[in-house]
Every structure is written in structure tokens, then in C-alpha cells.
């Protein structure tokens, strides 16, 4: 499968624990995005990378959230001290950069107990 991949697909954690998600974009896509989707809503933008540079962060991304893309390839999203309100689907998307199309991965569903 040459599409965007995400790992893990599901994560259940207890409140206060830290979690980390990984996204592997489509090969040679230099733009990578993280979105969050809650039930019945459209995806909401969290942050965006062009190569290894993080160019924008949403105000939704509190200081408990951090994202990296160290070599301009895969990215990680870490949530520290998880809260029940963090329960959502975390989606990653990548884009080739020349065009606007964003292609989504299958998402990581986070449940915070």
C-alpha cells in the first residue's frame, strides 16, 4: 500500500498518560498535516509541516501536544497528560506540494478513560 499510513490504529489509555502516534506520508510528499476528528464532525486542522519545518499550529494544539517531522519523512504526534477531551480520531494527511490535494491516512482512534 503506497498511501498514507498511521500507527497505531487504535489506542486506549488512562487519563494522565502520554501517547505518541506515527504517520508515514506518501513517498515524496513534502507536506504533512495533522487533523483531529470527533464523532459527527469534520476534521479540524492541528498542525502542518513542509519538509521538516513546522509552519503552522492551530490554537487547538495546547502545550500538551507536540509534533515532529525530524527528517522530513514520517511524523509523530505526542499528547502528554492525556485528558478525556482528547478522545478523538487523529488523522494525518500528506500533499505533494505542487498541488493542493491532501490525501488522508486511516487515522488513530484515541480513547482516554
Partner 1 sequence: GENVEQHPSTLSVQEGDSAVIKCTYSDSASNYFPWYKQELGKRPQLIIDIRSNVGEKKDQRIAVTLNKTAKHFSLHITETQPEDSAVYFCAVEIQGAQKLVFGQGTRLTINP
Site residues for partner 1 per CB under 8 A: 4, 31, 33, 35, 40-45, 48, 50, 55-56, 58, 91, 95, 100-107
CB of 84 to partner 1, least distance (A): 21
Helices (H), the chain: none
User: Of 81, 51, 50, 83, nearest to 66 (Cα)?
Assistant: 81
CB of 83 to partner 1, least distance (A): 23
Closest CB to partner 1 among residues 9, 15? 9
Residues paired with 103 in a beta bridge: 94
CB of 71 to partner 1, least distance (A): 20
Using DSSP, how many helices (H) and how many strands (E) does the chain show? Answer: 0, 11
Amino acid at each position: 500500500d503506497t498511501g498514507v499510513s498511521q500507527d497505531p490504529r487504535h489506542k486506549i489509555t488512562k487519563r494522565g498518560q502520554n501517547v505518541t502516534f506515527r504517520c508515514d506520508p506518501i513517498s515524496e510528499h513534502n507536506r504533512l498535516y495533522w487533523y483531529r476528528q470527533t464523532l459527527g464532525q469534520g476534521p479540524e486542522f492541528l498542525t502542518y509541516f513542509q519538509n521538516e519545518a513546522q509552519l503552522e499550529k492551530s490554537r487547538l494544539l495546547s502545550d500538551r501536544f507536540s509534533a515532529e517531522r525530524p527528517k522530513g519523512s514520517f511524523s509523530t504526534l505526542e499528547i502528554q497528560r492525556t485528558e478525556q477531551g482528547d478522545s478523538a480520531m487523529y488523522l494525518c494527511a500528506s500533499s505533494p506540494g505542487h498541488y493542493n490535494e491532501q490525501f488522508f491516512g486511516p487515522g488513530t482512534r484515541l480513547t482516554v478513560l
